[in-house]
Amino acid sequence: MDGLKELVDYGVIGLLAAMSFVALWLAIERYLFYKKVDLSKYRDRNLLEVDLSENLSMIATIASNAPYIGLLGTVLGIMLTFYTMGQQGMVQTKEIMIGLALALKATAMGLVVAIPASIFYNLLVRKMEVLVAKWESLNEN
């Protein structure tokens, strides 16, 4: 069961940390792209939307899946706590509470990743909609 503890501590939390880094990196990349995009070079709305929406689905995927990965880590941590309790026989309440509290850190981390990623996604989609509307205004004539 030590492997399961390592999986929860390093695998799940590490995966969530990597997802957080990727979401932040993609959000910054999209923001910088939106600031410098030249709408006048686009003649077709579909091509503009393809360029503007690049990487947004990855941010949305991270935002929607991070809580599930955190929940998986919590379930694995609770399983580990119960297994340890079963192996040791009589366990003090203190040990149980510490094990459960540590198991919940994965869910907390999942939410810490998901909430900002969801905010980034919504802000970037709104910025994309504004840029498309500006493009439409430029091309009405």
Give residue-wise pLDDT tens across range 61-113.
999 999 999 999 899 888 888 888 888 777 777 878 887 888 889 999 999 99
Contacts 24+ apart (CB under 8 A), 35-43: 37/131, 39/131, 39/134, 39/135, 39/138, 40/138, 42/135
pLDDT tens digit sequence for 115-125: 999 999 999 99
Q: Which residue has the higher pLDDT, 42 or 95?
A: 42
pTM of the model: 0.86
What's the rounded Cα separation, in Å, for the pair 104 and 73? 8
pLDDT at 141: 63
Residues 6+ apart with CB under 8 A from 12: 69, 70, 72, 73, 76, 106, 109
